[in-house]
Amino acid sequence: MTVFLTATANTSTPNSALSQAFTELVRITPQLTDQGWGGYAPFNNPTSNSTSFTVISIVPAISQDAAAQANATMAGYLEYLQELVANSTQSGNPADAVTLQGASTTTFASWYDWYTALWSTGEQEGIGLGAEVGSWLIPRDLVKSDHERVAQTLLSIPQAGWFMVAGGAVSNVTASDTDLNPAWRKAAAHVPFGFTWTEGTPLDEINALRDALKSNLAKLRALAPESGAYLNEASLYEPDSAHSFFGSHYDQLRAIKAIYDPVDLFIVVEGVASNEWDGNLTCRKPT
């Protein structure tokens, strides 16, 4: 089963109805992931007169009873959205309104049918842009205890994404069984965001965007400082990369590296043992 929807407000920042729509998605995320749903809910690039977020989520082939439960939860969310849309127009002010596209579940007979219908468009991805990103893993316990604070923080960050790629089976593996960041085992969602620039953009403008990224990442980190980040979509400016990327596994990983790479031949930015070198990774720090 797949759901695809886009909720849009006629404002440059989320209005009340759009904020409520996103907040409800955050609230039900633990239930959705428990039932097998996974997917993405990014905020799209805002314009001067609109902002929106899209939900693309899928639940794979499961038993008939499990599918019925998963469908019931998502159907409840879609009904909630439709009621929000209807109520948002009552004031008569276009700035209060939210429109909805899609908002229905579809069942596909196979993965190939799903891919062909949704992704086999022939379009090419854009290339040639400068880009930087940041991200943080948001714990399930935090979502369950204070989903409104989580949602409001994300709503304040332009183009933040709410990626439901944690929970479920990911949370049922003992953290010590692999070297994966233990924060993944406790996460409800992965939250990435970032910015791009075109060739020729002045350095001062790029640095201003970097400062905004650092500031927004600090907001996320403050929600759950004990959590961590997904290394492949993380910031270059993590103040404690050993904790952010490896958590409680770091000391063991450092010990393993000392055995197989005692001279630090393999050093990467913000990787294991990189904090023992200078910023250019050319000289060891004094011991």
242/246 Cα distance (integer angstroms): 6
Contact, 155 vs 7, CB < 8 A?
A: no
pLDDT in tens, the chain (287 residues): 888 889 999 898 899 999 999 999 999 999 999 999 999 999 987 887 899 999 999 998 777 888 888 889 999 999 999 999 999 999 889 999 999 998 888 888 888 998 888 777 666 666 778 999 999 999 999 999 999 999 999 999 988 999 999 887 777 777 677 778 999 999 999 999 999 999 899 999 999 999 999 999 999 999 999 999 999 999 988 999 999 999 999 999 999 999 999 999 999 989 999 999 998 899 999 87
Tokens of 256: 């393993």
pLDDT the model gives residue 215: 96
The helix/strand/coil state of 271 is coil
C-alpha 72, offset from chain centre: 24
Which residues fall within 8 angstroms of residue 169, CB to CB, at 6 or more apart? none
Entry pTM: 0.91
User: Which CATH number applies to 2-233: 3.30.420.10, 1.20.120.420, 3.40.462.20, 3.30.1490.480?
Assistant: 3.40.462.20
pLDDT the model gives residue 154: 96
Contact, 143 vs 29, CB < 8 A?
A: yes
Domains of the chain, residue spans: 2-233, 242-276
Contact, 204 vs 194, CB < 8 A?
A: no
For residue 286, the 8-state DSSP code is P
Per-position DSSP letters for 70-91, written without gaps between them: HHHHHHHHHHHHHHHHHHHTTT
88/96 Cα distance (integer angstroms): 6
**23 torsion bin: left (phi>0), alpha (psi -120 to 50), beta (else):** alpha
Task: Give the end-to-end CA distance of the chain in Å, rounded to a whole number.
Answer: 56
Contact, 189 vs 227, CB < 8 A?
A: no
pLDDT the model gives residue 122: 66
